[in-house]
Amino acid sequence: MDAAASRVLLDAKRAKRLTFAELGELIGRDEVWVAALFYGQARADETEAAKLVSVLGLDQALAIALTEFPDKGLGPVVPTDPLIYRFYEIMQVYGMPMKAVIHEKFGDGIMSAIDFSLHIDKEPDPKGDRVKVTMSGKFLAYKKF
């Protein structure tokens, strides 16, 4: 899905004053997955796509774009958006420590980004609300051959 289709979806969502969570409830998906779909990072089935474009009041032709196989990723450049950059920075600072702890606990392997879930929660705090990000991915050990 191209950036223009994403813009149409996001504009319609805003105009209808809907949240990703509300749209997710409509189709039985998590809010993060719906956001990924709107940004061209996930793929809907035909039923999900039809429901979304219908509730957003968009042309059913857009549903086809939602069912196409996505090209995933941000691209080869360092992100410039401040919030996205902070996740990049977290990986620069804590990536190797996280890798070391995962290897100590699980062995030589990776955390799947396919068999994976991501949840974002708001934690009230007297010093200022906190963002809680929970990532859970299946451990995949490297094969020895």
- CATH code, domain carrying 27: 1.10.260.40
Domain containing 131 equals 82-141
> The pTM is what?
0.82
Please indicate, yes or no, whether residues 59 and 29 belong to a single structural domain of this protein: yes
Please indicate, yes or no, whether residues 90 and 49 belong to a single structural domain of this protein: no
Listed in sequence order, the residues at least 6 apart from 37 whose beta carbon sits closer than 8 Å to its beta carbon are: 29, 43, 44, 52, 66
Last residue of a domain, one of 41, 66, 91: 66
In a domain, 38, yes or no: yes
Distances from the Cα of 92 to the Cαs of 20, 28, 62, 69, in angstroms? 29, 35, 38, 30
Please indicate, yes or no, whether residues 41 and 94 belong to a single structural domain of this protein: no
Number of domains in the chain: 2
Which two structure tokens, joined as six digits, stand for 136? 């859970």
The list of the chain residues with pLDDT below 70 reads: none
Catalytic residue ranges: 86, 89, 112
Q: For 117-132, what is each residue's pLDDT tens digit?
A: 999 999 999 999 999 9
